[in-house]
Amino acid sequence: MELNFSSKALTNNKLPCFAATPTTGTLLNPSKSLCLASHHQLPRVSFSLSSTDPLKLITSRKVIAMAAGSSRDLEMSNLTALSPLDGRYWGKVKDLASSMSEFGLIYFRVLVEIKWLLKLSNVPEITEVPSFSKEAEAYLQGIIDGFSVDDALEVKKIEKVTNHDVKAVEYFLKQKCESHPEIAKVLEFFHFACTSEDINNLSHGLMLREALSSVILPSMDELINSISLMAKEFAYVPMLSRTHGQPASPTTLGKEMAIFAVRLSEERRYLAETRIKGKFAGAVGNYNAHISAYPNIDWPHVAEEFVTSLGLTFNPYVTQIEPHDYMARLFNTISQFNNILIDFDRDIWSYISLGYFKQITKAGEIGSSTMPHKVNPIDFENSEGNLGKANAELSFLSMKLPISRMQRDLTDSTVLRNMGGALGHSLLAYKSAIQGIKKLQVNEARLKEDLDQTWEVLAEPIQTVSIFCNELATSISLTNSRYYIKKVMRRYGVPEPYEKLKELTRGRAVNEESIREFIKGLDLPGEAKSQLLKLTPHTYVGAAAALAFAVDEALHL
């Protein structure tokens, strides 16, 4: 037997209310005062629908004042939050709140329930739900567009009675529509033939879609663009390479940055191409209830139309739940993006340690409580730490979510509520890295010093290698760069070139003078010898500059 709850029946259920500070933010409905369980500001989320285009998610950034409070209330909320994402770091991750929070989940549940009722009204065989008038459709769309924190709190109040979160949304919608004469006649069709997971899986898909399109992908793009700008800016800055921590063939700082920009952009492309899937097939994926009620309707086709109308990809083969395989791919891709960024953070940390980068400081900032001279690479350390935390959660999500006993168990339900934390730590890491990049200043004198002290790296081109004959300062473009390929000692038949250079360089101090004396003593044609004598650790960088300048052509944005 189904119970009906009216708003009067729930008036005695009081919700705890915490004051919040007046501030600017990105909240829901400017016409309503807010009574929040925290100070958090939530952007409004809504769908737009045209007759020809699928639903497109839009985040409106309207600014309103919050309910009365004090700055002390805000500080208390920060201090008492269990997660630093909801406390210390809230300002950097709050853009995810509208989609990945409890509010976001409730909002998308409301949206899916309403859109399903509208879909049923367009199925001719369901005569019990006739086509709605334009006014009724506008009324239902208005519930979505005007959904506020107050509305979400009302749903939570109903849930205190029902002890069922999805059923609370259904009852909330019945309350909202019971006064509308046209919609009131079909209230029982809000949740027709649905299992809770029909509503939930679509809501989670829409949450991820909004979070990725509005927050995560734009932040990834900003990070990639910041690194690609470094690649082009430092394309001509020669730098000593290190393999196994030892001096190796020189490169340019820009080319090393270009590598990271391209690697990150490739993962970003994979992420954007991941299809977010949805199901709407009832209790165990067979449309049992649907066919029982209306056997002449092609329910798989109706379900596919409905799911795709929300901008998701339809999955026809499911149990009670959409099996979450796409989520595993999505989270694994974000995790790999994060792994590459950890590699970047650690390299930049090392370059700072070597003195290749200086960090621009701000007046009043303190690097160390006891050593006044220090400027610590805290942004890259913060990024690395949060990436580790994010990847631990992303790894767990990707391994756990595709596993459910038989037609379903409930273990995925509580786990899915933690998606926001994994994305939040990722977002925090991206912003920290971007902030750190803005503080970097190349120390070319230090880079030059290292190259001046490692003439032994020229043992490679002397033996046999491609050499870059133009001085690095010469104007170079991707289309007119000139390269000379000289397999010098091997080409001209010098016996045992490797062994001769090994004897010269291994375990011995090598400098410009000793290298030049070695070259002069080689039995080589004058032209080859002249070319080698022009070579320095600063100019022996191969195609590094050209590769750095071409980075934009290789990005997958």
Q: Which residues are catalytic?
A: 244, 368
CA distance 325 to 336: 17
Give the bridge partners for 85, in sequence order.
Answer: none
112: its two tokens: 């899916």
Q: Are 190 and 292 in contact (CB under 8 A)?
A: no
Q: Are 240 and 533 in contact (CB under 8 A)?
A: no
* Cα 107 from chain centroid (whole Å): 22
CA distance 237 to 50: 52
CA distance 374 to 360: 12
CA distance 194 to 196: 6
Q: Residue 47: CA atoms inside 13 Å, Cβ hemisphere, count? A: 25
Residues near 430 by beta carbon (within 8 Å), at least 6 away in sequence: 219, 220, 222, 223, 341, 383
Q: Residue 132: CA atoms inside 13 Å, Cβ hemisphere, count? A: 24
Residues near 521 by beta carbon (within 8 Å), at least 6 away in sequence: none
Nearest Cα residue to 436 out of 346, 354, 374: 346
CA distance 119 to 306: 7
Locus of tokens 């120390």: 443
Counting beta carbons within 10 angstroms of the beta carbon of residue 95, is it exposed (0 to 12), middle (13 to 18) or buried (19 or more)? buried
Instruction: Please say whether the dihedral angle defined by the alpha carbons of residues 444, 447, 453 and 456, taken in this order, is positive or negative.
Output: negative
Q: Residue 273: CA atoms inside 13 Å, Cβ hemisphere, count? A: 9
User: What stretches of 353-487 adopt beta strand conformation (E)?
Assistant: 357-359, 440-442, 465-467, 484-486
Number of helical H runs and strand E runs in the chain: 24, 10
